[in-house]
Amino acid sequence: PLIVVNCIVLGRAEAYAAKNGIFSSLFDGIGMGLGFTLALTLLGTIREMFGTGKFFGFAFMPEEFGSLIFVLAPGAFIVLGYLIAVVNKLRKA
């Protein structure tokens, strides 16, 4: 799956660069990279908060209240689904 995602990202960057100039492609790449970084950081932060009760290593709730499902692989899909739902709700509002 990681290789497929990398191919999608590189394919999109190549398709954009083929139709646009160098500076436009440069800024597009920077924007896409920052966007992916922000999305993955948000996803990981939410998973960590619900899974272990910590926020960048600082505990804000006892570890006993964390939910194991968020720490495991399916937790990413659950959190991603909720994030998509929240974004869709905010766009319609």
- Find out whether 50 and 39 touch, Cβ atoms under 8 Å: no
Mean pLDDT of 47-72: 85
Q: CA-to-CA distance for 41 and 64, rounded, in angstroms?
A: 24
Q: How confident is the model over 19-43, as pLDDT tens digits?
A: 999 999 999 999 988 988 898 899 9
| Widest CA span in the chain | 53
| pLDDT of the residue at 16 | 92
Q: Is the pLDDT of residue 68 over 80?
A: yes
